[in-house]
Amino acid sequence: MREITAGQELDNGFQHPDAVMDEALNWLVRLEAGGFVKPAEKARFETWLDAAPAHRMAWAEVKTVWAAPETLVAAQQLDMHIGSQPIPLRKAARTPQIGWGRQAFAAAACLVALVGATYLAWHAMPRMLADYTTEAGERRDITLPDGSRMVLNTGSAATLAFSEGKRGVRLIEGEAWFDVVHDAAKPFHVAGHYSDVEVKGTAFAVKVEGDADTVSLQRGAVDAVHENKAIAVVHLVPGEMVTASKDAMSAARTFDADQQLGWLQGRVVIDAKPLGAALAEVGRYFDGRIMVLNRELINVTVSGDYRTDRAEAAVASLAAAAGGKITRLPGGYIIIR
């Protein structure tokens, strides 16, 4: 984390969507992470605090998160992973006397990440190249040029390759289900990050997530081909799935249709998963941010059957099942402790 010295200002890269919460964040950065504070600055803060009940409510919420011991742990993790890249915060102080210690800045950065993380441009770049995209919680049914059907799940992006007699889709991110029109002369291809699925007429799903592609076959037959041609092709029959990573292709294995394809009916099924994994799955449908401060909850096993259009309620239910408590902040942020 770059250390900010006297006379420097924080980058004007983030503004919380809730104006009052944004002001509370700025005051917290000034008062808690900035070192010495002049009496006049403290007086201005008291004036702001007394100006409206909403100010006190926002300040109480921000202070609650700041005071949690887990915030320091998260700040330390943030500090280690970000390295030399500063997290853009809204300008919080213009007084040249303020000198920022490395960990104080990391803690302030962590807090802002909790209640309003900055969206980096490179996250959006792949989606700019896509022909079809979906936002969090959205599901989109698309008829492809050859009459085949593609259903994009939440937070997904795909680009088409239908030209010169070819039929194909590249899944840039997320998950999609395909019902392919049979054409023996023109195989249909779906490319993920590391795999290429070739079919002539069938129904299957492809998911690209992290460092792996997962192919799940519902009907028909497919060949899953790794980008490394030295890795053996895996042939799937209905009810089987395969995972391709950077350097390997798993063996074919059976899957639970409710868990793998429940999203087609607007459901997400969690069957005895650690809370961290369950939140990662449900969180795909939540148009907000989730942060678990109590790390002891991460590995608690949870289960449930939830509606994808009620993702926030699902997050709350999973947190409660793991023994956690949640705090909702303006702008769609959930803190679990």
Q: Where are the alpha helices (DSSP H) in the chain?
A: 19-32, 39-51, 53-67, 69-82, 102-116, 121-128, 257-261, 275-283, 311-321
**Contact between residue 234 and residue 214 where contact means Cβ atoms under 8 Å apart:** no
Task: Let me know whether 247 and 287 are in one domain.
Answer: no
Give the up-direction half-sphere exposure of residue 43: CA atoms within 13 A in the CB hemisphere. Answer: 3
In this prediction, residue 272 carries a pLDDT of 93
Residue range(s) defining the domain that contains residue 332: 266-336
Q: What is the pLDDT of residue 4?
A: 27
Please give the pLDDT value at position 103.
46
Q: Are residues 140 and 249 in the same domain?
A: yes
Is there a single domain that holds both residue 87 and residue 147?
no
Residues 204 and 299 in one domain: no
Count CB-CB contacts under 10 A for residue 102.
Answer: 12
Judge if 97 and 208 occupy the same domain.
Answer: no
pLDDT in the model for residue 80: 47
- The CATH number given to whatever domain includes residue 320 is 3.55.50.30
| pLDDT score, position 335 | 84
Of 259, 276, 304, the position where a domain reaches its end is 259
190: amino acid identity, one letter:
V
Q: Identify whether residues 27 and 82 lie together within a single domain.
A: yes
Q: Are 336 and 319 a contacting pair, CB within 8 Å? A: yes
∠ Cα 163 156 237 (to 5°): 75
Q: Which of 192, 227, 259 is the last residue of a domain?
A: 259
Instruction: Find the CATH number of the domain harbouring 213.
Output: 2.60.120.1440
- In terms of domains, do 137 and 247 share one? yes
Give a yes or no: residue 6 inside a domain: no
Q: Is residue 80 part of a domain?
A: yes
Same domain, 162 and 221: yes
The answer to the question of residue 14 being in a domain is: no
In terms of domains, do 93 and 133 share one? no
Asked if residue 289 belongs to a domain, the reply is yes
Residue 3 domain flag: no
Backbone dihedral angles phi then psi of residue 165, each to the nearest 5 degrees: 80, 5
Which tokens is 27 given? Answer: 């005051």
The residue to which tokens 């795999």 are assigned? 195
The length of the chain in residues reads 337
**Spatial separation of the C-alpha atoms in residues 138 and 127, rounded to whole Å:** 15
Same domain as 281, residue 224 = no
Q: What is the CA radius of gyration of the chain?
A: 24
pLDDT of the residue at 35: 54
Among 259, 291, 307, the domain-final residue is 259
Domain assignment of residue 7, yes or no = no
Compute how many other C-beta atoms are within 10 angstroms of the C-beta atom of residue 259.
Answer: 17
Residue 291 and residue 326 in one domain = yes
CB 18 within 8 A of CB 86: no
pLDDT along the chain (337 residues), means of 10: 29 53 76 67 89 87 65 49 39 33 48 43 60 94 96 95 90 95 91 90 91 93 92 94 94 93 95 93 90 86 95 94 85 80
Q: Please check whether residue 177 is in contact with residue 205, taking contact to mean a CB–CB distance below 8 angstroms.
A: yes
Report helix, strand or coil for 122.
helix
Whether 76 is covered by a domain: the verdict is yes
pTM of the model: 0.65
- Number of structural domains (the chain) is 3
Position 33 scores a pLDDT of 53
Rounded to whole angstroms, how far apart are CA atoms 122 and 101? 28
Q: Is residue 8 a part of any domain in this protein? A: no
147 token code pair? 């009459």
User: Backbone phi, then psi, for 247, in 5-degree steps?
Assistant: -120, 5
In a shared domain, residues 54 and 161: no
